[in-house]
Structure 1
Amino acid sequence: MNVIPQALRKGSALGEDYVRGQHAHELYEYDLQSDQSLQHRAEWLDTAHRPRVDRNALVKVLTSYNATYNDDPAVRESLEKLKDEQSLVVVGGQQSGLFTGSLLVVYKAATIVHAARMASQKLGREVVPVFWIAGEDHDWDEADHTYVLTSELEVRRLRMESWHDGKSSVSQVAVPKKKWEEAITELELVLADSEFKTEILELLRGELAQASNLSEGFARLVGRLFGRYGLVLVDSADPALRAIERPMFKQLIERSDEFEQAYLTAAARIEELGYEQQAQAVEGAANLFYIHEGQRMLLYKQDGKFMDRRGTVIFAKEELLDLLERCPERFSNNVLTRPLMQDYLFPVLQAVLGLGEIAYWAGTKDGFKVAGMQMPILLPRMSFTLLDPVTKKHMQQYGLTFEDVMERFESRKEAWLAEQDKLGMDGMFEQVKAEFERLYAPLIGRLGELQSGLSSLGEKNQAKIVDQISFLQTKTKQTIARQNEAELRRWDRMYKTLFPLDRPQERVYTVFYTLNRYGLDWIDTLMSVEPDLTGGHRIIEV
């Protein structure tokens, strides 16, 4: 297996600048480039005054959850380590997705495991890997689908059709067994036949038949793939977790105005430095959700009250605090307060994030300070493109680099197709059009001398004739393309393998598409790749 460093367009200017060490101190707590950051963060986590949940209560919740969805001996060992007050955590997460969603979820899990092991070695103390499932999110449209590449070179979207209002937390939406079977059957139909297909489908049917919602299915699959590496799972929507989060929610409610100002201050700082906000800080926002009759409603503040936009629920602060005490499961974080809750629950040494996530975390620095906490070290997840032998062979055949496919694929394909015009037809058509226009120009001029209206008529006539020549030119190109259809399919396969839907491969295809090609052991192959925690992108030749 060959692993090659490779630049890749990523789309988050602020995230990329953070990785390069720019504006680290203005917008973040720690500098990723500093060798001292790891030790300094560990020392701060050891301070007695920092807000934290009761460690035993946390481990009890995690033990119960993982015993149900991720019961591996290595996970039980990680939970034993977490009982020790000296142990720390590397955490990262993702919203649950159908069949785990895209490959980046797998790469994030791998990064968490590697980072925890490496930090443990550097600090000489236990560091536990934790995967945070954002089950409290209610954006079903982001979680209900994934993609595979079919043998017909179609980037096929597999989707679990919605049957609810779309406003409930993903972990609260019941998925009937029939829905799971429909999704697996569709996957079975579009996956290419392989020696691993039967085993993969058996795994999916065995695990997902026991899952009552999308988050449970996600947890079971991630557990099967990474449980043996000691990766502990937590669902942010777990009611048992809510019960121990009360103190942090209470602070977010009681000091809501302070947190609001902190987020607005951070937002202004981000914009002053020339960046766009990734997570909008809004005046009057409480930065909390309240779950009313199964619907997750974002709360705002108005006239001393907490309410949703439509006024469906309206609470005085005292009423909201009373509800928190009696029904903590009705409360949920938003994108700006979730990092604080995560840090309250866990002794977070490093948070593993995508570059877009790193950008929106810049808006939380002041919020951490209000809560009496510090933003942890932000670690970019590992990023890969898988290059199979067939795609590599075709790239070599046509003299293409990865940059060619990424940046100038269409122009390179058009240039190659033009080379297949062995008779030089395209050049002849261009010559004919030029010669015709040259011969016709004096005629149009004379027509104008004869009568001004004839000149305009002559120009229209000329355009029609040129259009007819161009029409035949296009038909000729189409004929040449049909004669080279097999090779053009190779070009199509190259692009859709590496950049499906014009996006990086890791953001589109499900890991089960990959496992169908290379087997379940491919996860071990991935974990054998030397970790790179600097935010770079690499090509893995598989």
Structure 2
Amino acid sequence: MTLNKLTYPDSKHFSSLMEDYLMEKDDLKKMYHRFPNLENFQDQIVEKQTEFLLKPETRDVLVKSVLNQYNNIDNAQNSLNNITLLKNENTFTITTGHQLNLFTGPLYFLYKIISVVNLCKKLKTAYPNYNFVPIYWMATEDHDFEEIQYFKFQGKKVVWNKDASGGVGRLSTEGLKDVLKIFQNELGVSINASEIIELFKTAYLENEDLATATRILAHQLFREDGLVIVDGDDRNLKSLMLSHFKDELINRTSYYKVSEVIDKWPTDYKVQVTPREINLFYLKDRLRERIVFENGQYNVVNTEISFSEKEILVELDQFPERFSPNVIMRPLYQETILPNLCYVGGGGEMAYWLELKEYFNSQKITFPILLMRNSALIISRKEHKKIQKLDLEIDDLFLKDYELDEKLTRKLSEIDIDFTVQKRHLQDQFKELYALVHKTDPSFKGAVAAQERKQIKGLEHLEKRLLKAQKRKLRDYLLRASDIQKQLFPNSSLQERQENFSSFYVEYGFELIKILKDNLDPLDLRFSVITLDS
């Protein structure tokens, strides 16, 4: 196995906002609290500990609720030990969140959880007097079923066709037996394929709802690490948010605070999320719809449900579980109930978290350290052999397809296609002509400049024609290079955003996860290329 690293700008697949954040550009420093380096965690610990000392009941409610969520889960001792540790004032969490994608969805699901697991280990070494618990927050209340109903195995979509509404965590797993049959045909027959099938069966065929199935699957993959999986669709946990939910309904604080930040947002960056006036949904089985304030009433869109101000506050007190935060408020919910130090997420998540600091300040909740999850490209043995045979460099693989063609053509061409020397020589000659014009008749300067542009353009045209001719000559080689690039970057996107972990597990088994845990360093803010060459 070989490990290479690239900067995020060199990988060419991340936004300028994230690149600038990782470089600690001054313009962004007001948008976050502390940068993710090991030293900054000491102050974060002290601040979060002080916050939680003011609300001691929070740890008790958290532990009781999560222990209840772990009823009937086998082989969970490491996770149960970590849940119990959350009672202690010296225990803190490192958290990531993810949708309930079918069979984990994209490969980066693993990278997110491995990032929090490995960061907890690094923090325990650096700060041995404290405990650090890895958390996976399941997005059980999301209602965008179309985003989670499939995964890709070696480029082929495996889809769960189902009529769905409401929070996805409450969806029945009915119909997934048929999905497994289709998936099984693609997997073939091997020991690792059998393990994948067993993972799928245990999670989806032995549990009645998607939230439980996802918990079981994530637990099977990371139970050795004591991963604690939290479902926010929980009455007791939401009871800890009553004051914040009331503030949202009456004062619209999140809207005003986030809008103020967006008004001052640097023009170089895209605004990731725009807040609504009320950033809460109303949630029941098969129903999750926005709450809006219209004509003096609180209405649930697409329904006949309506409340006066007094009525909705009574509803909130009696049924806090019916109020579901959206993308603006969910981070506050998470950070209110967890003694959390750091949130680990992808580039898109980091972008909307950077909008939220002032809102957190208004609610007197400590803003977490924001850490980009690990990102990686896995190169299989077979792909590695092809790369070696083509004499490609790792950096070559990250070029745009036309850039790769041109670089390889220039590299392999038997003639020198780079006319830079000739252009420079031509420009030197015209410098002499400009000097002559200056001494004789300055009115000729325009004619000389036009002739210079014409001749430079002629050289450039010749260079392009020669390059095109050499590409035709090297066509077979360039096609093979293009094919390997397309395998590693399906749909011109990062592998981690397209393929499911099973695409690699079928060849490497559980060793895949061990390799990733051994080689992904959460505080090394570079892109990893993991070559499985042995």
TM range, smaller chain: 0.7 to 0.9
Is the 8 Å Cα contact of residues 86 and 126 (structure 1) preserved in structure 2? yes
What's the counterpart of residue 42 of structure 1?
45
1:63, distance to aligned residue in structure 2 (A):
1.1
User: 1:417 Cα shift?
Assistant: 10
2:484 is the alignment partner of 1:494: yes
**1:75–1:230: 8 Å Cα contact kept in structure 2?**
yes
Map of 1:175 onto structure 2? 173
Query: Pick from 340, 360, 363: which aligns with 2:352?
Result: 360
How big is each residue's C-alpha offset from its partner over 1:448-478, in whole Å with a ceiling of 9 and x where there is no partner?
xxxxxxxxxxxxxxxxxxxxxxxxxxxxx8x
Q: Is 1:87 matched with 2:91? A: yes
| C-alpha distance in 1 between matches for 2:16 and 2:248 | 30
Distance 1:523 1:71, change over 3 A: same
| Shift of residue 413, structure 1, vs aligned partner | 5.6
Distance 1:302 1:244, change over 3 A: same
Deviation at 1:259, TM superposition (A): 2.5
Contact 2:112 2:373 (8 Å CA) reproduced:
yes
Give the distance between the partners of 2:372 and 2:179, measured in 1 at CA: 32
Counterpart Cα distance in 2 of 1:330 and 1:201: 36
| Counterpart residue number, 2:434 | none
The match for 1:341 is: 333
Kindly indicate whether residue 241 of structure 2 is the aligned counterpart of residue 241 of structure 1: no
* Corresponding position: 1:261 with 2:264: no
Residue number in structure 2 paired with 1:142: 147
Do the aligned partners of residues 53 and 351 (structure 1) sit closer, same or farther apart at CA in structure 2, a change above 3 Å counting? farther
Q: Which residue of 1 aligns with 2:273?
A: 279
Give CA deviations for 1:390-445 in whole Å, capped at 9, x if unaligned: 2122122223233333323356469989999xxxxxxxxxxxxxxxxxxxxxxxxx
* Partner secondary structure for residue 40 of structure 1: helix
How far is 1:310 from its partner?
5.1
Shift of 1:238: 3.6
Contact 1:90 1:129 in 2 (8 A): yes
1:221-263 CA deviation, whole Å, 9 max, x = no partner? 1110111101100122244533444344234334x33332111
Counterpart AA for 1:279:
V
Q: Does 1:15 align with 2:34?
A: no
Measure how far apart 1:44 and its partner are: 0.9
Aligned pairs for 1:424-463 (under 5 A) are none
SS of alignment partner, residue 342 of structure 1:
helix
Q: Does the 8 A contact of 2:79 with 2:226 survive in 1?
A: yes
Equivalent residue in structure 1 for 2:400, among 408, 411, 414: 408
Runs of 5+ unmatched residues, structure 2? 413-471
Looking at structure 2, the residues matched to 192 and 494 of structure 1 have their Cα atoms a distance apart, in angstroms, of 23
Aligned to 1:516: 506
- Give the number of aligned pairs: 471
Q: Tell me which of 43, 58, 61 is aligned to 1:57.
A: 61
Q: Which amino acid aligns with 2:85?
A: K
Q: Which residue of 1 aligns with 2:430?
A: none
For 1:162 and 1:30, the matched residues in 2 are separated by 43
Cα pair 1:19 1:32 within 8 Å, conserved: no
Q: Note the aligned Cα RMSD (angstroms).
A: 3.0
CA distance in 2, matches of 1:38, 1:419: 47
CA distance in 1, matches of 2:336, 2:355: 18
The letter of the residue matching 1:533 is L
Q: Which moved more, 1:313-322 or 1:243-252?
A: 243-252
Change (3 A) 1:315 1:274: farther
Q: How does 1:86-105 map to 2 (within 5 A)?
A: 86-105=90-109
Q: Secondary structure at the match of 2:278?
A: strand
Work out the CA distance in 1 between the residues paired with 2:489 and 2:381.
16
Aligned AA (2:133): V
1:16 to 1:231, Cα distance in 2 relative to 1, 3 A: same
Counterpart amino acid of 1:260?
Y
- What is the one-letter code of the residue matched to 1:157? K
**Which residue identity lines up with residue 44 of structure 2 in the other structure?**
R
Q: Equivalents in 2 of 1:365, 1:418: separation in Å? A: 49
Q: What is aligned with 1:213?
A: 209
| 2:246 corresponding residue in structure 1 | 250
Q: Secondary structure at the match of 1:321?
A: helix
TM norm structure 1: 0.80
| 2:525 matches 1:531 | no
Q: Partner of 2:86: helix, strand, or coil?
A: helix
Aligned partners of 2:148, 2:166: CA distance in 1, in Å? 13
Whether 1:316 and 2:316 are equivalent positions in the alignment is no
User: d(CA) in 2 for partners of 1:224 and 1:286?
Assistant: 38
Aligned to 1:459: none
Question: Separation in 2 of the partners of 1:162 and 1:298?
Answer: 23
CA separation of 1:382/1:53 partners in 2, compared to 1, >3 Å: closer, same or farther?
farther
* Distance verdict in 2 for CA 1:139–1:331, change over 3 Å: same
Contact 2:119–2:522 (CA under 8 A) maintained in structure 1: no
SS of residue in 2 equivalent to 1:278: coil
3-state SS of paired residue (2:519) = coil
Provide the rounded CA distance (Å) in 2 between the counterparts of 1:99 and 1:93: 15
Identity over aligned pairs, percent = 25
1:508 offset after TM fit, Å? 1.1
Aligned residue runs from structure 1 range 319-330, under 5 A: 319-330=311-322
| 2:254–2:329 contact (8 Å) kept in structure 1 | no
Instruction: Give the drift of 1:541.
Output: 1.2
The SS at the match of 1:60 is helix
Q: 1:89 to 1:294 in 2, by over 3 A?
A: same
Residue 123 of structure 2 corresponds to residue 119 of structure 1: yes
**In structure 2, what residue type is equivalent to 1:41?**
Q
State whether structure 2 residue 509 is matched by structure 1 residue 505: no
Residue 370 of structure 1 deviates from its aligned partner by: 1.4
Among candidates 181, 184, 197, match of residue 188 of structure 1: 184
Shift of 1:334: 0.6
The whole-number CA distance in structure 2 between the counterparts of 1:36 and 1:302 is 49
Match of 1:444 in 2: none
In the alignment, is residue 227 of structure 1 matched against residue 223 of structure 2? yes
Cα deviation digits, residues 91-135 of structure 1 (max 9, x gap): 111011111111111000000011112122222311111110111
The residue that corresponds to 1:470 in the other structure is: none
Say if 1:25 and 1:489 are closer, same or farther in 2 by CA, change over 3 A.
closer
The equivalent residue for 1:299 is 291
Secondary structure of the corresponding residue to residue 327 of structure 2: coil
Q: Distance in 1 between matches of 2:245 and 2:75?
A: 30
Q: Which deviates more, 36-45 or 328-337?
A: 36-45
With over 3 angstroms needed to count, the CA separation of the structure-2 counterparts of 1:414 and 1:156, relative to structure 1, is farther
- Distance in structure 2 (CA, Å) of the matches to 1:211 and 1:498: 35
Report the CA distance shift for 1:42/1:339 in structure 2 as closer, same or farther (over 3 A).
same
Paired AA for residue 128 in structure 1: V
Judge conservation of contact 2:79–2:228 (CA < 8 Å) in 1. Answer: yes
